Amino acid sequence: MLVCPLCRIQFVQSSQHIQGREYYSCPECFLLFVDPRFYLPIEQEKVRYDQHTNHPTDVKYQNYIQNFLNKLIPQIKLGAKGLDFGCGPGPTISHLLNQQGFEVQDYDLHFFCDKNLLKNKYDFVTCTEVVEHFQQPQEGWAQLRDLLHSQSVLMVVTQVYDHQNLNRWHYLRDVTHVCFYSVRTMQWIAQKYSWTLNSEPDQGVFFFQV
């Protein structure tokens, strides 16, 4: 019997072998997840993240991030206080939003690990290309929930999967990616926490209204 790392149900499910790793699909929350024996130790994860080249001075990356922020900004008030959860080694969201009249703090387990920031609640939280790294997604999403107060907005950016194209999906090539979401998974999460979900899955952006 398997236990889903997101919804915690037990189920019997045959595995899929894709690109050298073993995957399971939960019939309850529709999470696709890697067998834990393929998880990298935290030290090896950090080595992989050190190779990321995203940086706030990279105009191409700025434009990529700004496309998502253009969808977020109409949902928050000028001067709102936010947290970029999983900002990586080159915080870009805070760089852009601070210039536009918002107050944004940076948190990252590996690069900006100020645990005091996790004790606060925010008007908005951004989580860009992070949730697919959650080795314990139930705990990860609960941590995001605890950062939000009533009427907050959570922006999550992650690519959603299509079972028919998994063998060709680039998201599976990153060995630090261990859990993958469908639109139905995001709907399940919204229902669990009584959030309202607005999404553009073709662009990989999900807004949860608390």
Identify the residue whose tokens are 């991030």: 65
The pLDDT value given to residue 48: 64
CA dihedral 28, 31, 36, 41 (to 10 degrees): -140
Domain ranges of the chain: 41-159+183-209
The pLDDT value given to residue 2: 87
Written as six digits, the tokens of 25 are 């699909």
Domain 41-159+183-209 falls in which CATH fold? Rossmann fold (3.40.50)
Q: What is the CA radius of gyration of the chain?
A: 17
The pLDDT value given to residue 25: 93
The pLDDT value given to residue 1: 78
pTM: 0.93
- Residue ranges in the chain modelled with pLDDT below 50: none
Q: Which of 95, 170, 97, 73 is closest to 129 using CA atoms?
A: 170
